[in-house]
Structure 1
Amino acid sequence: MFKPVPAAIGLRYLRAKRRNGFISFISLASIIGIALGVTVLITTMAVMSGFQKEIRDRLLQFAAHATVVADGEPMRDWPLALETAARDPRVAGAAPYVETEALLSGLRRQPALVRGVVPELEDQVSVLARKMKRGSADSLEEGSFNMLLGQELALWLGVDVGDTVLVMLPEFQGSPMGAVPRIKRFTVSGVFEAGYNEIDRGLAVAHMADLQRVLRVDGATGVRLKLHDMNEAATVAHELALRLPGFYRVSDWTRENANLYQSLRMEKTVMGILLSLIILMGAFTLVNSQVMLVTDKQADIAILRTLGLTPAGVMQVFMVQGTLIGVIGTVLGFIGGVTLTRNLERILDAIEALFDVTLLPEDVYYITGLPTDMQTGDVVTTLVVALAMSFLATLYPAWRAARTQPAEALRYE
């Protein structure tokens, strides 16, 4: 098969045995370095994406994709909002809610967010009923003044199912002893576990009608929406607010948890940059091997020049060889990264069994196992970075080879 002369010579140099075995060793080290860097970077990005997805999914089990909140006063026409949302094909479910900050008192005291919900509608926007550890979500009946607590919150308050907690609201009322906070006694009828510390430690759930009665309001705080595509949350909430009479504030899960997701995204970016240095080290090793190869092939370069090969052709010879080393390392790294990511859970289990340790304790991380989410964009970016570094690493040695003068190179041959 016909091949361009520079490509044919470059491929021959790659296959041929070197007179200097040290050059071959450095070339092999370049391949291993690039492959190792690509493998580690693909696996690490998959793990970071897996943790992001795990945290997001656990948070959104109880947090709405989007919320529409009345501005300055209770939302009295929330049934109209539910009807309007139900007609939107992008909305999977909608439910009203009442929300307030309160101080809960059991054996100890703990501030928490108290949310009033309609049990019949809550299943459309959260998985509260499926996350019950003790008791039942059906116990939230109007007028019962029952309450569901997060597991960490119940543990901290020192209460369990059947016990009572005092809910102290940040509103004062007159009494013979002066202004005192409004207090209501609730019965703990269930304990849930979301697997996310901020929810398990800081959320209590009651029936919306009971909380309305305690707060003395005749409407809802707003409407929570669950969407088929969470990335459309801001758009759907804004359009719903425009179709309702009055003024409303809209929010979505990315805005309400902006600090968390920005920090996770920043960690992933910084980790990617740092691990790219492994690929860069492999690229520098490739530069060294190519420079030594150019020095070793001075006589060959001179002969090729006398036979009519142009400096650009000489440069292409060594660029072909160096680039092919980078491609081999990148392909091996891609195979290694995908294989390692898909078997990471088994490897983790083997390490734990071999050394009798628990690398990710469930009571610390709320996660059993090591979540991975290998995203195509991350893999493609890693491969492009590795190939780009390998290509750039060949430019200086190839340029140096092109500057070889035939007469000086053959003077001592």
Structure 2
Amino acid sequence: MPWYLYLALKQLFPTGRRFPFFTAISILGVALGVALLVVSTGVMAGFGHEIRRMIVDTQGDVQVRGSGLITDPEALQARIARVPGVVATTPFAEGVVMLEADRKPAFPGIQGVDVNRVEKVIPLRKYVRIGSLDDLDDDSIILSSQLAISLGARLGGTVQLYSPLLLEKLKNDEVLLPREMRVVGIFEIGHQQLDSSTVIVTLRAMQDIYGLGSAVHGVNIKLAPGVDADVAAARINRALANDPDDVHARSWAEINEDFLFVLSLEKNMIFFLLIFIIVVAAFSVTSSLLISVVRKTREIGVLGALGAKPRQIAACFCAQGLIIGLAGTAAGLALGFSFLHYRDAIVRGFASLTQSQEVLEKFYQFSRLPAYSETSDVVTIIVSSVVISTLAGLLPAWRAARLKPVEALRSE
């Protein structure tokens, strides 16, 4: 080990003493900055990761829609299936209905799915908490969890479904009775909005409710692992260029482009703002090392008199900044990842103290706090922290390197 590196370690961690105060404060400052960056970027990336999972799990990797109704979904799916990278397709129809149970009304979104094909694209079965997807038929319905609670509906019970066709019938002086549907399942995705305002029926039932005939509103598509959704969407659009229903394929990222951009912008802004915590900690490192230079002026003079070169003396103080950066970064990573591991318990404790659990779910739309640490984010945090801490030692190193041995030894 070079002598200047050994000396740097001895100055930061003297033998036979308690943990030095200035060293502890410097490492703690860097650690807190790193921990905040790990937590903030992990939570923001968690929101993005969770939203992507929910989008893909409810809409597929790519979605095809027309300017109006898709009149021949079977032929369309056959053409899509021939596109390289496409694994499976499933048609859907969607809209809004009125549900009533025990005179409690609700106006959820409704989606009709092909029960024979939906599992190949959208894993609905794993989100059904009570009941079974296998029991879904043309006279039954699956409710989202919060919607079922608000209506007081239970498995095996019935709800009355009012279709928009009621208005059309009334215009023609006709009467259309509400449709009675049996509750055969309750699902929960984990997103507050989806879990409070969504119902699922069979595709045939949806076509009957909305008077669509054999038409659908769109087709969801699942891609092979590793296939880029945007590239696949472009291929599908080329294959469907002359389709009579004027259909267009869009990837999950394109459909939610604006929202994902805002999410990415927020994440980058938070990173930019919190990096200043490490910068402030770096100033404390600089201040501590400058004090060390002043206190050890005579020792620096002795080193120069013994033949130490200015760059070696400078390296001693730069190494101290590097060591503080490494130690602070390691402590910050441990602290940050520990917080992320116990995040739900911490958030529940905070929410119970402030009585804000329902408010968090209402506005942030998640029943639990998501977290996902991307490798690129962690590497960026580590490099930024170590580099800033090392740069913090440059000014003290420059000051120490400029000291003349004779003047330093003369110092009192």
TM-score category, normalised to shorter length? 0.7 to 0.9
Distance 1:236 1:40, change over 3 A: same
Does 2:62 match 1:75?
no
Q: Matched residue of 1:61: which SS?
A: helix
Q: What's 1:398 paired with?
A: 397
Q: Matched residue of 1:15: which SS?
A: helix
Q: What's 2:141 paired with?
A: 147
**5+ residue gaps, structure 1:** none
Mapped contact 2:301–2:403 kept (Cα < 8 A): yes
Identity rate, percent = 27
Instruction: Within 5 Å, give how 1:116-195 maps onto structure 2.
Output: 116-141=112-137, 144-160=138-154, 161-169=156-164, 172-173=167-168, 175=170, 184-194=178-188, 195=190
Structure 2 CA distance for aligned equivalents of residues 301 and 363 of structure 1: 60
Q: What's 2:229 paired with?
A: 233
Structure 2 CA distance for aligned equivalents of residues 405 and 30 of structure 1: 28
Q: Matched residue of 2:290: which SS?
A: helix
- Displacement of 1:383 in angstroms is 0.6
Structure 2 CA distance for aligned equivalents of residues 229 and 181 of structure 1: 50
Structure 2 CA distance for aligned equivalents of residues 78 and 63 of structure 1: 17
Structure 1 CA distance for aligned equivalents of residues 125 and 323 of structure 2: 57
Q: What's 2:33 paired with?
A: 37
Distance 1:406 1:341, change over 3 A: same
With the length of structure 1 as denominator, give the TM-score of the two structures.
Answer: 0.78
Structure 2 CA distance for aligned equivalents of residues 252 and 280 of structure 1: 40
Aligned mate of 1:100, from 83, 95, 98 = 95
Mapped contact 2:66–2:218 kept (Cα < 8 A): yes
Structure 1 CA distance for aligned equivalents of residues 166 and 238 of structure 2: 32
- Displacement of 1:390 in angstroms is 0.5
Letter in 2 for 1:76: T
Structure 2 CA distance for aligned equivalents of residues 360 and 57 of structure 1: 26
Instruction: Within 5 Å, give how 1:252-401 maps onto structure 2.
Output: 252-258=251-257, 260-305=259-304, 311-334=310-333, 337=336, 340=338, 344-345=341-342, 372-401=371-400
Letter in 2 for 1:146: S
Q: Matched residue of 1:206: which SS?
A: strand
Q: What's 2:24 paired with?
A: 28
Distance 1:341 1:88, change over 3 A: farther
Range 396-405 or range 116-125, more displaced? 396-405
Mapped contact 1:67–1:223 kept (Cα < 8 A): yes
Structure 2 CA distance for aligned equivalents of residues 238 and 325 of structure 1: 50
- Displacement of 1:402 in angstroms is 3.1
Q: What's 2:201 paired with?
A: 206
Q: What's 1:9 paired with?
A: 4
Mapped contact 1:146–1:187 kept (Cα < 8 A): yes
Letter in 1 for 2:239: R
Q: Matched residue of 1:374: which SS?
A: coil
Mapped contact 2:298–2:410 kept (Cα < 8 A): no
Structure 2 CA distance for aligned equivalents of residues 235 and 62 of structure 1: 20
Q: Matched residue of 2:122: which SS?
A: coil
Letter in 2 for 1:70: G
Distance 1:326 1:308, change over 3 A: same
| 1:14-59 Cα deviation digits (max 9, x unpaired) | 315879x999431232123323433453355444444543444345
- Displacement of 1:169 in angstroms is 1.6
With the length of structure 2 as denominator, give the TM-score of the two structures.
Answer: 0.79
Mapped contact 2:142–2:184 kept (Cα < 8 A): yes
Distance 1:23 1:96, change over 3 A: closer
Mapped contact 1:341–1:372 kept (Cα < 8 A): no
Structure 1 CA distance for aligned equivalents of residues 35 and 158 of structure 2: 54
Distance 1:188 1:259, change over 3 A: farther
| 1:2-23 Cα deviation digits (max 9, x unpaired) | x4xxxx235324315879x999
Q: Matched residue of 1:62: which SS?
A: helix
Mapped contact 1:234–1:250 kept (Cα < 8 A): no
Structure 2 CA distance for aligned equivalents of residues 385 and 400 of structure 1: 24
Mapped contact 1:330–1:386 kept (Cα < 8 A): yes
- Displacement of 1:96 in angstroms is 0.7
Q: Matched residue of 1:389: which SS?
A: helix
Aligned mate of 2:60, from 61, 64, 68 = 64
Does 2:221 match 1:222?
no
| 1:348-399 Cα deviation digits (max 9, x unpaired) | 769999xx99999799759787654333212211111111111221122122
Mapped contact 1:67–1:250 kept (Cα < 8 A): yes
Structure 2 CA distance for aligned equivalents of residues 242 and 383 of structure 1: 44
Distance 1:32 1:166, change over 3 A: closer
| 1:80-122 Cα deviation digits (max 9, x unpaired) | 3323343445333210111223344442333322222211111
Distance 1:183 1:315, change over 3 A: farther
Distance 1:256 1:167, change over 3 A: farther
Q: What's 2:248 paired with?
A: 249
Distance 1:28 1:153, change over 3 A: closer
Structure 1 CA distance for aligned equivalents of residues 347 and 199 of structure 2: 39
- Displacement of 1:266 in angstroms is 4.5
- Displacement of 1:333 in angstroms is 3.8
Structure 2 CA distance for aligned equivalents of residues 105 and 352 of structure 1: 33
Structure 2 CA distance for aligned equivalents of residues 385 and 182 of structure 1: 67
- Displacement of 1:192 in angstroms is 2.2
- Displacement of 1:318 in angstroms is 2.1
